[in-house]
Amino acid sequence: MSGRRRLSILTGCVLGLSALAGAGLAGQAFAAESAAAAAARRTPLVSGTPCTITAKSCVDLESQKAWLFKDGKILRGPVSISSGGNGQETPIGHSLRVYRKEQDHKSQESRLPNGQPSPMPYSVFFADGGIAFHGGDPDRSSAGCIHLDPKKDAQAWFDHLQIGDQVQVVRASEERKARAGKADKSSDGAKDSDS
């Protein structure tokens, strides 16, 4: 067998094993999210929202609304937001956590027309990839972040949310459907309430 033929076979085997490993890791990530979603769906909702009483902030990607919660009740909201778009969607999650806050953050990924880093005032980072709540145009999609009105809402999110606080980003219709399906399968026939 020629050296090139062996290299070709070896390369094919390595790529095949890499694909299998990647599929396994993707399956583990999906299972972890499913477990978080399942746990969230066993927890009561904050009245009038698609998120649970354990969250400190809630985002509904369908209505493009967000809320702040305190002690399982609405502290602020709903407020209008804009989320990611154009292939840079905001990640959905039931157990995202605030991991960093930076009042005067400048984006290294997004640039102004003059090439300078885009300002992201009152940044509260809660998901991998630098996804944050921050002041921005609520009428323009982001690169995955949640734009809040910089004059009315961004500082409130910055002031209220603390490191470790839970953030939930959901689609309300999917949450209603999942809770309805869970209630239909329950042995006592009781339905979970969305409000």
Residues 5-31: tens digit of each pLDDT: 443 443 343 334 333 344 343 333 344
Residues 27, 98 within the same domain: no
Residues 26, 105 within the same domain: no
Kindly state the DSSP code that residue 109 receives in the 8-state scheme: E
Largest CA distance in the chain: 72
CATH code of the domain covering residue 173: 2.40.440.10
Rounded to the nearest integer, the mean pLDDT of the chain is 80
* Structural domains counted in the chain: 2
Residues 121, 165 within the same domain: yes
Predicted model pTM: 0.74
Residues 61, 35 within the same domain: no
Which SS3 state, helix, strand or coil, does residue 61 take?
A: coil
Conformation bin of residue 48: beta by default, left when phi > 0, alpha when psi is -120 to 50: left
Distance CA 119, CA 27 (A): 36
Could you please report the per-residue DSSP string of 65-79?
A: EEEEEETTEEEEEEE
Residues 70, 162 within the same domain: yes
Residues 130, 103 within the same domain: yes
What range defines the domain where residue 156 resides? Answer: 57-181
Give the model confidence (pLDDT) of 21-60 as tens digits: 443 433 333 444 468 788 888 899 999 999 999 999 999 9
